[in-house]
Structure 1
Amino acid sequence: MMRQYELVDRVRRYNPQTDEVLLNRAYVYAMKAHGAQVRASGDPFFSHPLEVAAILTEYRLDDATIVAAVLHDTIEDTDSTREEIDRIFGPEIGALVDGLTKLKRLDLVSKRAVQAENFRKLLLAIAADVRVLLVKLADRLHNMRTLHFMAIAKRARIAEETLDIYAPLAGRMGMQRLRDELEDLAFRHLMPEAYATIEARLDDIGRKNDLRIVAIEKELTEALTAAGIKAEVKGRQKQPYSVWRKMERKSISFEQLSDIFGFRIIVDSDEACYKAIGVIHMKWPTVPGRFKDYISTPKPNDYRSIHTTVVGPGRQRVELQVRTNAMHDIASNGIAAHVLYKEGRVRNNAVLTNESKAFQWLRRTIESLAEGSSPEEFLEHTKLELFLDQVFCFTPNGRLIALPKGATAIDFAYAVHTDVGNTAAGAKINGMPAPLLTELQNGDEVEIVCTEGQIPPSVWETLVLTGKARSAIRRATREAMRAQYAGLGRQIVTRAFERAGKPFAEDKIKIALSRFARSSVEDVLAAVGRGEMFSGDVLKAVYPDIADDRKAVSQRPRNEGGWFKMRTNLHVVFRVPGASDEADMKLMPIQGLQPDLPVVFAPNGGAVPGDRIVGILTPGESLTIYPIQSADLTAFDDQAGRWLDARWDIEEGSRSNFPATLLITAINEPGTLGAIATVIGENGSNIANVVINAPSPDFRTLLVNVEVSDLKHLSTIISQLRARPVVSKVERVNG
């Protein structure tokens, strides 16, 4: 176990002004707090926070971060409290330690929910201070180094969590060296046989290619020196996990891999990077499509380098990376490189925020995901953000937008701004009109066409890739639904006040908000619209002395209050008009079909003349007619041979009626059903069936089967129903 003076010496090597008293105090405090606790290895538990601190000294971090590493398990695993840490070590260190402490006594139903809520807390703490992330990654790295001491079942869970969350997070923060080790350790525990096989193959190839690697290093160095470029050339071999992931992603064997080895060229300046690429491309032919310039267009994690692949000696493909020392530092240490000591002083988090694109990305991601998502959704969306490779696109004014590979123009719109996404109506990609669902490619210039007052369709949530877009769409959908419920609630409450002879005024409801446990009038109205609150309760809260003799539905006689329940059947196969009582199908003159084929309408809505229709053939039995928009047709997606094009051939002046189903939401008051029936009757239609549901004492939903002559007839009925004050919403049901 590391000694007290050893920790101080490690810090003093890069920070001569370190506060030795603070470091010593933290060492002694943590040692006493953890006392006789031991790890699964049998080592004193206190050895773990010391090793975490030692890892962080390699990144030359400030005193507060080192002390937080030493103390990071005290609140969670000992009797120490946040207040005590604040008092002894100050609120800055207290906040860091608290950010690393898992939530206790979580009232959540699943282990996954607990994991997700803890992860949300961690990321929110990271957004406030990135040093929390550095301590957490070092903590995870040491735990992975000692994972072999844990039970096998626990090893698998921790290794999987590392591959799912912490390794990608390290990668997004640009800490490639740490990411490589985390992935290597996790892969070793999750798939030991695959790891051992790939490692053995890599060792064998390494021994066989030692001389070739040296020869390529020498040849590159000589070519660059001859061009006056001072460069350090070093060959490197891919990590086992990187090899396995590429084999899985491309479905290829080990023998088909052509880039087991790569070479890194370190030069003095940005200009030298481009000169070196010129020398290399003049010496060896390039592989088309394998040149990437991350210097002019850095990755979101601040990574900068030039990548190219050439056909080198022996006709072998050779991967090359060209960068400066500063770029190499960022590539290896990522965000940690931004908090290195320079001239004895550490740059603060505010400066880090301005300088690091990686941290800006993380903070924006957390802010967009944290609003209104459940813990599980937050975790899933964060994984999506971490995992996917990226494409780089541009706005018309040249702003760079980095998106996950496979992202669409909708993702792009939300990446520009939430309001742009919510009002997106179309897109132009490279100057040409394109659907919003078009998958974007590297270098695309994307212009979003917006329409004011538009609400994003809820189905977009299942089509986008970025967590920001999903959260924004869900939020917009939720707000639209809330506005819809509030509109219904306003109608219900207004009419309740009118029946009581009282004027409806939002100011009066606002005064009584405390009685409703709601924060706004809109919330009260939405609660009434959803059926969570009775309009009579709102009336009583505003006018306590008023008498309200309306009773809950369960206490009311069956036919009281103007409502009655008709004999109903939710699933009715409508007879074709003109069929006899004994028949349930009839020949219909549908153009293009054989004349003796029995034809029936689909249940759950049917079709009316004017609808675009298709027929689903059941050989030897019948042809079932569906409107093209019917959701039931998805059941036949994989049965193309059963689909037949069909169109109406109805004689002009025909008086035949066809079944249609309407879903109506209406206010519950005397005469409502009569008003609905009147509209339908006055338009020459007949009600074949009604199902009434009471989700709330204030309103009803009615599933009404009507008979209409055509689509125009049906549309007239719907529009007139919507115009009735007692009707809030009318929709046609199509399966």
Structure 2
Amino acid sequence: MMRQYELVERVTRYNPEADEALLNKAYVYAMQKHGSQFRASGDPYFSHPLEVAAILTDLKLDDATIAVALLHDTIEDTDATRAEIDTLFGEEIGKLVEGLTKISRLDLVSRKAKQAENFRKLLLAIADDVRVLLVKLADRLHNMRTLHHMREDKRARIAEETMEIYAPLAGRMGMQDIRDELEDISFQTLYPEACQTIKERLSQLHDKNEGLIADIEADLTQRLAERGITAKVSGREKRAYSIFRKMEQKSLGFEQLSDIYGFRVIVSTVEACYRVLGVIHTAWPSVPGRFKDYISTPKQNDYRSIHTTVVGPKRQRVELQIRTHTMHRIAENGIAAHALYKDGVTGGRDISHLTAESRAYGWLRTTIDMLSQGDTPEEFLEHTKLELFHDQVFCFTPKGRLIALPRGATPIDFAYAVHTDIGNTCVGCKVNGRISSLVTVLANGDEVEVVRSKAQTPPPAWENIAVTGKARAAIRRATRASARQQYGDLGKHILERAFERAGQELQLEDLEAYLQTLGKSSLLDLLVSVGQGELSSRSVLETVHPDCNAEAAAERTKQALPTGNAAEGWFDMEQNSSVKFKIPETLQEDGTTNALPIRGMSGALPVRFAPNGGAVPGDRIVGILTPGIGITIYPIQSPDLKEFDDQPDRWLDVRWELDSENPERFPAQIAVYAVNEPGSLATITRIIGDLNGNIDNIRMLRKASDFHEMQIDLEVWDLKHLNQILKQLRARTNVSDARRING
């Protein structure tokens, strides 16, 4: 275990002006707090925070970050408190330590929910200060290095979490060395047989091509020197997990892999990078489609390098990465490689305000800010994983702005990546000047123009099309906001009817005085609760007008259903939805309000037709409001309505609102009594098909020697269409009767 003076020496080597008193105090405090604790390996627990601190000294981080590494488990695993940390080490360090403390006392339903909430808390802390992330990754790295001491079931869970979250997160932050080690240990733990097989194949390949790496290094170094280019050339075999991932993603066998060997050429200037590229392509033939210039177009995590694959000596394909020393440092250490100096201090690195220097950290903060708005912890974790995992494609706006997206992204993802408002108002797109579908998968270099409409709101189905967390989260928020507003409008209509039947006039501003009594924080909350059926209109009426006979008024409402005529215009419950409701603004001459128009049931809000028999245009219909379910539409003759006789305030006056330009089918059920002979079922289905009916399901209810009874679920245009089908069925000699269920 590292001694106190050894840790201080490690820090002062790269930062002579480090606060040694702070480091000594943090060392002693953490050792005392963890003094009686031991790890699964049997080592003193204090060895863990000490090793985390050592990892961070390799990254040459500031003394405050090293102190946080020493203290990071004290609040969580000892009797130390945030107040005590603040007093001894200052609020800045106290805040960082608290950000690294997992949530342990939440009443969460599952381990998954707890993991999600912990991850949300961690990322929100990272958004405030990047040092939280650096300490957390170092913490995870040391835990993975000692993973073999854990129980087997716990090892698998930790390795899976590392592979899903922390390794991609390290990669997104450009910390490739840490990502590589996290992935290697996780791969060894989760897939030990595959890992061992690949390592054996690599060993065989190494023996076969012995000296190949050294030969290429020497050959390339000499060629560059002949052209006056000083470069450091190093070669290596690819890692086992990198090979496994490529084999899995592209369904390749080991023999089919063409770039097992990789080389790095590090030079002093950007100009030299392109000169090296010319030398390499002159010496060996390049492999088409394997050239990538991340210098002119850096990755989101600040990674810059030129990649090319050539057919080198012994006809072996090799991949080369060409970069400068600065690019290499950032490629290996990511955000930790950005050196920012405090005013007046030249020896230490202060990364507490790392923003403009790192595009990776800027991406992370933007992503966290976006994902933290209104989603559950599980959704937050899901969307963050989506943002972390995908490789990237680079697309452009018509003005030339570069937009980085995950592979598989669509114009919907592109629109939201440009701006949330552009995504919410997107109605179409042009890809490379041609009108294209919004489900088009974008490719590198595509120019995308988004077509917008202010009347548009994103359909909920877009959430299944989008692949980025940002787009999915924005679509879900827009859908929730739209549904909430629509429920509010429906609740207003229900209250207007209830107040009118009681002989009162609804004044929305008057309801605000009763919000506390009704247990609501805002007028919209009240209207939404009524619209969703959680709060009855009777309760609101009796609260505002205690002397009104709300029960009698509700009974009169039921007796008046349905009313029939409606005023001009209708209210769209969901943009591009076929479910339409009428929200009347004025009373008709006879004192009755307009009915709510019903068009179909394909919208996002819970409007459905009764399961037994359905309803079709031409039927007189009624709506029943059910909390947690929504509005169910029944034909007025349905016997199922009897069960709601004692709940008149749940009845809604509804009517049909058909769109002649976009006709829809509606559900109905019929019972058919047919002679039991060969071909009778075929005759029945042919009649329905010839009359343009659509059969959803057929059930045999009774079967005898001479006849059978069947129930057919079908879709028809309207009541006239249904009656035509029934008439034709009854006209057949092998059909004794055909009638509508609930008709």
Give TM-score, length-normalised by structure 1: 0.77
CA gap of 1:697–1:27, structure 2 versus 1, over 3 A, is farther
| Equivalent-residue separation in structure 2 for 1:64 and 1:514 (angstroms) | 49
Partner of 2:404: 402
1:532–1:696 CA contact under 8 A, matched in 2:
no
User: Which deviations, in whole Å up to 9, do the C-alpha atoms of 1:332-386 show, x marking residues without a partner?
Assistant: 0001112466931424433x21121111111111122222222112111111111
Mapping 1:317-332, distance limit 5 Å:
317-332=317-332
SS at match of 1:515: coil
The match for 1:531 among 533, 547, 550 is 533
1:690–1:703 CA contact under 8 A, matched in 2:
no
User: Which deviations, in whole Å up to 9, do the C-alpha atoms of 1:578-617 show, x marking residues without a partner?
Assistant: xxxxxxxxxxxxxxxxxxxxxxxxxxxxxxxxxxxxxxxx
Partner of 1:349: 352
Answer with 74-83 or 197-206: which moved more.
Answer: 197-206
Name the aligned partner's letter for residue 53 of structure 2.
Answer: A
CA gap of 1:239–1:667, structure 2 versus 1, over 3 A, is closer
User: Which deviations, in whole Å up to 9, do the C-alpha atoms of 1:25-71 show, x marking residues without a partner?
Assistant: 11111111112110000001111000001101111111111111111
Quote how far apart the aligned CAs of 1:690 are: 6.7
Residue 202 of structure 1 pairs with residue 202 of structure 2: yes
Quote how far apart the aligned CAs of 1:205 are: 2.4
Mapping 1:187-198, distance limit 5 Å:
187-198=187-198
| Equivalent-residue separation in structure 1 for 2:241 and 2:175 (angstroms) | 16
User: Which deviations, in whole Å up to 9, do the C-alpha atoms of 1:5-26 show, x marking residues without a partner?
Assistant: 1111111111111111111111
| Equivalent-residue separation in structure 2 for 1:630 and 1:492 (angstroms) | 20
Quote how far apart the aligned CAs of 1:564 are: 9.7
SS at match of 1:458: coil
Partner of 2:360: 358
| Equivalent-residue separation in structure 1 for 2:553 and 2:92 (angstroms) | 56
2:558–2:649 CA contact under 8 A, matched in 1:
no
Partner of 1:624: none
| Equivalent-residue separation in structure 2 for 1:733 and 1:705 (angstroms) | 15
Mapping 1:123-522, distance limit 5 Å:
123-339=123-339, 343-350=346-353, 352-522=354-524
Quote how far apart the aligned CAs of 1:219 are: 1.4
Partner of 2:559: 562
Name the aligned partner's letter for residue 391 of structure 1.
Answer: V
User: Which deviations, in whole Å up to 9, do the C-alpha atoms of 1:684-712 show, x marking residues without a partner?
Assistant: xx976475486986443699999x9x979
| Equivalent-residue separation in structure 2 for 1:716 and 1:148 (angstroms) | 62
1:68–1:93 CA contact under 8 A, matched in 2:
yes
CA gap of 1:54–1:340, structure 2 versus 1, over 3 A, is farther
Quote how far apart the aligned CAs of 1:400 are: 0.9
| Equivalent-residue separation in structure 1 for 2:9 and 2:231 (angstroms) | 34
Name the aligned partner's letter for residue 414 of structure 2.
Answer: F
| Equivalent-residue separation in structure 2 for 1:664 and 1:94 (angstroms) | 64
Q: Among the aligned pairs, what percent are the same residue?
A: 61
1:667–1:698 CA contact under 8 A, matched in 2:
no
Partner of 2:84: 84
SS at match of 1:514: coil
2:491–2:529 CA contact under 8 A, matched in 1:
yes
CA gap of 1:11–1:715, structure 2 versus 1, over 3 A, is closer
Quote how far apart the aligned CAs of 1:422 are: 0.8
User: Which deviations, in whole Å up to 9, do the C-alpha atoms of 1:504-528 show, x marking residues without a partner?
Assistant: 3332222333333333211211111
Residue 94 of structure 1 pairs with residue 90 of structure 2: no
Quote how far apart the aligned CAs of 1:496 are: 2.8
User: Which deviations, in whole Å up to 9, do the C-alpha atoms of 1:267-296 show, x marking residues without a partner?
Assistant: 111111111111211222111111100001
| Equivalent-residue separation in structure 1 for 2:653 and 2:217 (angstroms) | 79
| Equivalent-residue separation in structure 2 for 1:50 and 1:305 (angstroms) | 34
Name the aligned partner's letter for residue 398 of structure 1.
Answer: G
Name the aligned partner's letter for residue 449 of structure 2.
Answer: E
Name the aligned partner's letter for residue 448 of structure 1.
Answer: V
| Equivalent-residue separation in structure 1 for 2:146 and 2:122 (angstroms) | 22
Name the aligned partner's letter for residue 530 of structure 1.
Answer: Q
1:688–1:705 CA contact under 8 A, matched in 2:
no
Name the aligned partner's letter for residue 365 of structure 1.
Answer: T
| Equivalent-residue separation in structure 2 for 1:188 and 1:500 (angstroms) | 73
1:661–1:733 CA contact under 8 A, matched in 2:
no
| Equivalent-residue separation in structure 2 for 1:145 and 1:124 (angstroms) | 27
1:61–1:339 CA contact under 8 A, matched in 2:
no
1:129–1:349 CA contact under 8 A, matched in 2:
yes
| Equivalent-residue separation in structure 1 for 2:414 and 2:401 (angstroms) | 12
CA gap of 1:714–1:453, structure 2 versus 1, over 3 A, is closer
Partner of 2:700: none
| Equivalent-residue separation in structure 1 for 2:428 and 2:454 (angstroms) | 12
SS at match of 1:318: strand
Name the aligned partner's letter for residue 343 of structure 1.
Answer: T
Mapping 1:623-662, distance limit 5 Å:
none
2:294–2:304 CA contact under 8 A, matched in 1:
yes
Quote how far apart the aligned CAs of 1:664 are: 6.5
SS at match of 1:516: coil
Answer with 288-297 or 515-524: which moved more.
Answer: 515-524
Quote how far apart the aligned CAs of 1:502 are: 3.9
| Equivalent-residue separation in structure 2 for 1:713 and 1:278 (angstroms) | 61
| Equivalent-residue separation in structure 2 for 1:666 and 1:268 (angstroms) | 75
SS at match of 2:164: helix
User: Which deviations, in whole Å up to 9, do the C-alpha atoms of 1:314-337 show, x marking residues without a partner?
Assistant: 222121100000000010000111
Quote how far apart the aligned CAs of 1:222 are: 1.5
1:691–1:702 CA contact under 8 A, matched in 2:
no
1:85–1:93 CA contact under 8 A, matched in 2:
yes
Q: How many residues align?
A: 610
Name the aligned partner's letter for residue 94 of structure 1.
Answer: G
| Equivalent-residue separation in structure 2 for 1:662 and 1:4 (angstroms) | 86
| Equivalent-residue separation in structure 1 for 2:15 and 2:647 (angstroms) | 69
User: Which deviations, in whole Å up to 9, do the C-alpha atoms of 1:505-560 show, x marking residues without a partner?
Assistant: 332222333333333211211111001112233334445x544442899xx9xx99
2:557–2:648 CA contact under 8 A, matched in 1:
no
| Equivalent-residue separation in structure 2 for 1:353 and 1:23 (angstroms) | 26
CA gap of 1:25–1:733, structure 2 versus 1, over 3 A, is farther
SS at match of 1:465: coil
Give TM-score, length-normalised by structure 2: 0.77
SS at match of 1:301: coil
Answer with 531-540 or 161-170: which moved more.
Answer: 531-540
SS at match of 1:249: helix
What value does the CA root-mean-square deviation take over the aligned residues?
Answer: 3.3
CA gap of 1:538–1:225, structure 2 versus 1, over 3 A, is same
2:371–2:469 CA contact under 8 A, matched in 1:
yes
SS at match of 1:37: coil
1:492–1:667 CA contact under 8 A, matched in 2:
no
Name the aligned partner's letter for residue 494 of structure 1.
Answer: E
Name the aligned partner's letter for residue 536 of structure 1.
Answer: R
The runs of 5 or more residues in structure 2 that have no matched partner are 563-599, 603-614, 626-632, 667-714, 719-743
User: Which deviations, in whole Å up to 9, do the C-alpha atoms of 1:424-465 show, x marking residues without a partner?
Assistant: 010011111111111100000000000112111111111110
Name the aligned partner's letter for residue 133 of structure 1.
Answer: L
Partner of 2:551: 550
Partner of 1:727: none
SS at match of 2:356: helix
Partner of 2:739: none
| Equivalent-residue separation in structure 2 for 1:208 and 1:703 (angstroms) | 80
| Equivalent-residue separation in structure 2 for 1:562 and 1:552 (angstroms) | 10
Mapping 1:586-735, distance limit 5 Å:
666=623, 689=638, 691-692=640-641, 698-700=649-651
CA gap of 1:234–1:716, structure 2 versus 1, over 3 A, is closer
| Equivalent-residue separation in structure 1 for 2:191 and 2:64 (angstroms) | 38
Mapping 1:30-41, distance limit 5 Å:
30-41=30-41
